[in-house]
Structure 1
Amino acid sequence: MKIDDVPDVLPRGGAAGGAGEDRRGKRLQELLDAERDAGLIGAFAQVRDGDRTRSLVTGLADLTTGRPPRADFRHRAGGVIKSFVAVVVLQLAGEGRLDLDAAVGRYLPEVVPGDRGRQVTVRMLLNHTSGIGDYLERFSATTEKLAEAGTRTFAPAELVRMGLDLPPAGAPGSKWSYANTNYIVLGLLIERLTGRPYGAELAERVFGPLGLTGTSLPGTDPAIPGPHQRAYLPMADGSVRDCTSYDMSAFWAAGELISTAADINTFYRALLRGEVLEPGLLREMKDTVPFNPKAPGAGGYGLGILWFGSKRGPVWGHNGLAPGHTTYCSNSEDAETQLTLAETYNLYEPLGSHSHPITAARQAFTAEVMGGTED
């Protein structure tokens, strides 16, 4: 299907679930619709201002049927899972079952062998300073390769080997370099220490206690359970490929999470308010390394969580990309103001880029949420 062949029936969004007719709600809807006008297929978002919740939708959830998105849809949240995985690792550290500054080879000598196993620490895996290459580069060189990765099943150890076979991004601990391989290793670490599937630990320690009933890990099941947007991946020839059915084993502990906007906001509010980790562990999580050492005030990455600057101070959260779905999570320091935005379609741009109209529209929407004030 060519995106240009779709009739111009993409509807402007409608506020849902309590957005009301207030001026702030109208302004947020206008800005979300601007993403649709810039070419985004569809999106839904939940904005929390204190105790007030606004749910907004725009565009289409399905190009074939023309149905609109719903605010309660489930969505592949990609890298947002890293915050969840990091929580479990930090809890295990708090229980004395691992040392964040111990070499990963102490726990998984056969997974990360040799010098790297002796030099890379658990903390370096968590904050992406390990220097290990990103195995996902093997799949994301083209969108065609990324689409094909969802047609087969991968073992976690296979993904780790792919990352270790790539040229190192740097010496262990020398700089920040995002690598999904790090979190595949962390998933294996959780399993080694607990003797259980890492997903069982996430469910018992996070999903269940926080009541995240719309959150799950699919394993090798290619389906998205419950109501959802379809997932569209842009191809090089200008067409879009439907990747709604996709074996997420190629992402595993680095990106297989399925969730809802409400569940993700609930998770980050509980996390940032100290309801998930003990205070000392939360401080460890928020101890960040800069994305760019030449601009340390622009943002940084902690242990499974990142921050960017805003008019109101640091904005915490994580972004996530899965084939055909993208998720953006923003939270004020006290989690009074929150945004989880789930989009259909992927854009591949450098961190912080403003070059694509959809990206610019998204950043304007996010800035309004995180910097705006109630009427």
Structure 2
Amino acid sequence: MSVTTPPNDRTTKLRKAVEEIAASGSWAGIQVRINDPHGERVASAGVAELGGNTAPSTDGHFRIGSNTKTFTATLVLKLVADGRIALDDTVDDHLPEYGLDRRITVRMLLQHTSGLFNFTGEYYEDGTIAPGIDWQGQEWVDKLFHTYEPEELVRFALSKPARFEPGTDWSYANTNYVLLRLLVEKTADRPFAEEMQERLLTPLGLTGTFLPEASPELPEPHAHGYYTYQDGEEWKTVDVTRANPSWISAAGDMISTTEDLHTFFSALMRGDLLPAELLDQMRSPHTKFAYGLGLIVQETEYGTLYTHNGGFWGWGALMFSTPDGGTTLTASLTTGDARLDLAKAAEAFAAVQQSLLAEAFGA
């Protein structure tokens, strides 16, 4: 006979798990929200600011990184539902000014099968690296308030060799989603932020979600995010709460809250935002990385889950849902002064993910 843990005990258990994550030393702070048929559980731990003793707000704003891609993909698919573009349209027909390979389709951009160079750099299987724009280390800190135009990012990527011929392989490239932003603007004949606001954010009541463009500001309340990096032999920690996110554009620049991410992702999974046929295509993964159209299909011990997590210097974001949208996990992590390189940071993030998946979907 199975035993269901009472909701009050489940909340206490979540709080303990969150406190353990904060105590690990890898993160300055964490806020978590779990919505399921039992109701809602929220918890936070750690500190909102280094040197302080106040935990992050459970309603705080944060940079969601590549969770942005799911918003961008949903907006594109709304235009597909309208009949204004088609998934298998040649992108060059809509954006001829960039001279794209005419084999690249809208679907390929959404699913990362275009082969286009990733403007944040390419990491090849043999260990070689093809550098992109300055997005880490002292070079990024020096450009913390620098503004990049979307067209600039695309043209930089197009000046580099393609990773493979369109449609023949899979490789994650932020370039794809900046091109999708430009495609939305061309098709809707207005700025991307306006289209996103009218088609998604306002109808869903997402009052805590923003497209910052080049603004470095983060609305209150919010925790602080820090970037700890090695500059030569010296480790440095910089408060990067205020930073210009234009370097990542529609591939990862949005600001949100755990509540808004829950509202958006649950509505998407329930089928409230897209016709069933398009949602099915969105959730049909490419075989190499189980990546659909702007989201990831993850097979877990708790069943099939849909997700698209995000990382942004100073921040980490989690967004998971069951196929019916009935149970969701949304969370924000802020980094502090822990001396973690990219590999160790990825390991720490994966550990948090596994712990919180058990709390959200294993109970």
Q: Same fold (TM over 0.5)?
A: yes
Is 2:34–2:360's contact at 8 Å kept on the other side of the alignment? Answer: no
CA distance in 2, matches of 1:364, 1:252: 29
Instruction: Specify whether residues 148 and 335 from structure 1 end up closer, same or farther in structure 2 by C-alpha distance, changes over 3 A only.
Output: farther
Match for 2:146: what amino acid? R
CA distance in 1, matches of 2:196, 2:135: 31
Partner of 1:323: 313
User: Unaligned 5+ residue runs, structure 2?
Assistant: 1-5, 122-131
Work out whether 1:241 is the aligned partner of 2:238.
yes
Instruction: Specify whether residues 98 and 364 from structure 1 end up closer, same or farther in structure 2 by C-alpha distance, changes over 3 A only.
Output: closer
Match for 2:35: what amino acid? R
CA distance in 2, matches of 1:303, 1:127: 5
Query: How far apart are 1:345 and its partner, in Å?
Result: 1.7
Is 1:274–1:282's contact at 8 Å kept on the other side of the alignment? Answer: yes
Partner of 1:273: 270
2:12 counterpart (21, 26, 32): 26
**Structure 1 length normalisation: TM-score?**
0.86
Is 2:7–2:38's contact at 8 Å kept on the other side of the alignment? Answer: no
Instruction: Specify whether residues 143 and 354 from structure 1 end up closer, same or farther in structure 2 by C-alpha distance, changes over 3 A only.
Output: closer
Is 1:139–1:145's contact at 8 Å kept on the other side of the alignment? Answer: no
2:61 counterpart (74, 77, 86): 74
Work out whether 1:152 is the aligned partner of 2:146.
yes
Work out whether 1:98 is the aligned partner of 2:82.
no
Match for 2:157: what amino acid? G
**Secondary structure class of the residue paired with 1:309:** strand
CA distance in 1, matches of 2:65, 2:165: 27
Query: How far apart are 1:360 and its partner, in Å?
Result: 5.1
CA distance in 2, matches of 1:150, 1:291: 35
Query: How far apart are 1:247 and its partner, in Å?
Result: 0.9
Query: Which runs of structure 1 show a deviation greater than 4 angstroms over 4 or more consecutive aligned residues?
Result: 346-350
Is 2:327–2:361's contact at 8 Å kept on the other side of the alignment? Answer: no
Match for 1:69: what amino acid? P
Partner of 2:24: 38
CA distance in 2, matches of 1:365, 1:194: 42
Query: How far apart are 1:291 and its partner, in Å?
Result: 3.8
Deviations 1:270-301 (A, max 9, x none): 00001001111111111111344xxxxxxx11
Partner of 1:59: 46
Match for 2:161: what amino acid? P
Tell which deviates more after alignment, 266-275 or 314-323: 314-323
Work out whether 1:86 is the aligned partner of 2:73.
yes
Work out whether 1:367 is the aligned partner of 2:353.
no
Alignment size in residue pairs: 341
**Secondary structure class of the residue paired with 2:18:** helix
RMSD: 2.0
CA distance in 1, matches of 2:350, 2:118: 27
CA distance in 1, matches of 2:256, 2:328: 16
CA distance in 2, matches of 1:170, 1:126: 16
CA distance in 2, matches of 1:108, 1:249: 21
Percent of pairs identical after alignment? 35
Query: How far apart are 1:354 and its partner, in Å?
Result: 9.5
Query: How far apart are 1:189 and its partner, in Å?
Result: 0.4
Work out whether 1:306 is the aligned partner of 2:296.
yes
Instruction: Specify whether residues 139 and 344 from structure 1 end up closer, same or farther in structure 2 by C-alpha distance, changes over 3 A only.
Output: farther
**Secondary structure class of the residue paired with 2:44:** strand
Query: How far apart are 1:254 and its partner, in Å?
Result: 1.0
Query: How far apart are 1:141 and its partner, in Å?
Result: 6.3
Instruction: Specify whether residues 355 and 200 from structure 1 end up closer, same or farther in structure 2 by C-alpha distance, changes over 3 A only.
Output: closer
**Secondary structure class of the residue paired with 2:331:** strand
Tell which deviates more after alignment, 164-173 or 265-274: 164-173
Is 1:312–1:370's contact at 8 Å kept on the other side of the alignment? Answer: no
Work out whether 1:128 is the aligned partner of 2:122.
no
Q: Report 1:187-198 matches (<5 A).
A: 187-198=181-192
Is 1:134–1:166's contact at 8 Å kept on the other side of the alignment? Answer: no
Is 2:229–2:341's contact at 8 Å kept on the other side of the alignment? Answer: no
CA distance in 2, matches of 1:104, 1:45: 39
**Secondary structure class of the residue paired with 1:284:** helix
Tell which deviates more after alignment, 134-143 or 249-258: 134-143
Match for 1:27: what amino acid? K
CA distance in 1, matches of 2:285, 2:236: 39
Instruction: Specify whether residues 57 and 242 from structure 1 end up closer, same or farther in structure 2 by C-alpha distance, changes over 3 A only.
Output: same
